[in-house]
Structure 1
Amino acid sequence: MPTVRALRGATTVDEDTEEQIFDRVIALLTAMFDRNGIDKRDLISVIFTATDDIHAAFPAAAARKFGLGDVPLLCARELDIDGGTPRCIRVLMHLTTDRSRDELHHVYLEGASNLRDDLPA
């Protein structure tokens, strides 16, 4: 029986440009979908956060370009913590799935690849 689960992911951009934000967010979403066998119809909502040094585009706009325009999307600011990962975009995806928590594969790309080494990859 499907249950509600949350899937995490993050990536970074080298430059604060719309093109790179879109490219990296779409690559992140693609990897999350591919590694977890997600169908868009499984999604409940997606929350994005971005660090204070990202201004060129909303990560949710990239998600709409990816095909998630009918999924509730929200962007928010990441906490500005000393020593935090710069130019970082994080995602928290809520979905219905038959998979257990241990069977979900969280995705961390680019400069975010070392953020959560305690989670299954």
Structure 2
Amino acid sequence: MVFQFIKKAAPDSIYHAATKNTKVHTKAIYGLLAGLAILSPLGLIASGTAWGEWNKTELQQRLQTAHLATHAPSGISHGLHFNALFNNYTIRGVPLPIGYILSAVTVLLIFFLFVRVIHYDQNKES
């Protein structure tokens, strides 16, 4: 509500400062995201699984170690079965590091489209 009030009462105070270096900041952010996507295969040199990517057995062991539960939650016990686009970051016939990069690029594209839709809706309301 505060943002909407300032936007209507004094729009120059919000948008004037933001338009000066927007292109420079946007290029820097895109460069950073591209760099992170390219570096994503570094996860291959890590040992073990990533946080939250545990199977039922590993989750149960972690819960028992932390003294939180003696068994996995019932929703996980029954399993969640679906065909992921990049299951375990792999694509048949493509080296695993390329699969990591394509997974990261796909996430960035989805996020970019999501932000564009939200930004479009906000501009449409004003």
TM-score, scaled to structure 1: 0.23
Higher strand share: 1
Higher helix share: 2
Between 1 and 2, higher relative CO (CA 8 Å, sep ≥ 6) is seen in 1
